[in-house]
Amino acid sequence: MRAPSGSRYDQQGRNGQGGRFGWLGELAVALPLVVVGVLAVSVIGMIVAAVMDAGPASADSDLFFEDPVADLVFSLLGIAIGIPIVMGVARLLGRRPAGTLSSVVGRLRWRWLGWCAAVGFPLMIVQIGLLIAWTWDSEPLSASGDGGFPGWPYFLLSMAVILALVPFQAAAEEYVFRGWLVQVIGRAVRSPWPAIVVASLLFALAHGFGEISGFLLLFYSAMWWGWLVIRTGGLEAVIVLHTANNLLAFGLSAGFGALDDSSTAADAPWQALVLELVFAPLYCLVVAKLAERRGVERVSP
């Protein structure tokens, strides 16, 4: 069952199914399933590493494999598994088309996604370029790696894995936090803002505890992205920006031989936060204006 015509993105779960407290059932089932899914992929990675005798040389290592690329595969798959989980829960417990997690029209709008990419990728390149220039003297990217290019064969293999899996990993985080979670909370509240705030807080916490600047960056970005999802009626714009950020970040790590670095956006320095204060609203406002001009659907038909 679809939500009534004219429903916002966060209201797509309001299809009259599951009863007044049906949203609690979705939460109670989906969150443990996501955790179990991540753990299952991790366990499989540990087993494969043990069987192949490919584990890290150091017993204190946080990696499953000695080879960072192999470890990256399982790390990305462990997050990507969130997509089928939340789609299945929306379909079976929410009793609505799984595509309503993508947008108000019930699917990903690929042409609109392409327009977002035309804006998001150049802006992200500029943002990361400015961050590198700003922090290079104090903390070069190679500080956590071996300080050198790993060679073309290994670099190309790393990039093949990154290009193949990072879009699914980035999209999974959007489907879980700014998609399914926002719609589940949206079944119980009228305004989209409680859902956006809760989802943004959980998104920041999910990246771990690092620097306060990193936490604020994640929370601030997530608030803008949550607004953009409601404003454009779908996840396309935030999937694009999240993918662009992660592709560039992982690509640079691969180039500097730092794929074994376990730091996340939660460890971002204060300079990254300052740049995000400018670039997050810049991207969101430009894309929102573009969506208005192109007549992108904001509510369900």
Q: What is the pLDDT of residues 32-55, one digit of tens each?
A: 999 899 899 989 998 998 898 888
Q: Is the pLDDT at 68 greater than 50, yes or no?
A: yes
Mean pLDDT of 88-92: 94
pTM of the model: 0.94
Q: Maximum distance among all alpha carbons in the chain?
A: 58
| pLDDT score of 60 | 67
Q: Give the lowest-confidence range in 1-5, 134-138, 209-213, 227-231.
A: 134-138
pLDDT tens-place string over residues 269-289? 999 999 999 999 999 999 999
* pLDDT band, very low/low/confident/very high, at 103 (cuts 50, 70, 90): very high
Q: Are 165 and 80 in contact (CB under 8 A)?
A: yes
* Amino acid identity at 143: A
The neighbour count for residue 89, using CB atoms within 10 Å, is 22
Q: Which two tokens stand for residue 299?
A: 């509510």
- Cα distances (Å, whole numbers) of residue 244 to 81, 92, 100, 164, 251: 20, 32, 23, 13, 10
Q: Which position has the token pair 């990305």?
A: 76
Give yes or no for a contact between 183 and 12, defined as CB atoms under 8 angstroms apart: yes
Phi-psi region of 8 (alpha: psi -120 to 50; beta: other; left: phi over 0): beta
Please give the Cα distance from 68 to 1 (Å, whole number). Answer: 44
Evaluate whether 64 touches 73 at the Cβ level (below 8 Å).
Answer: no
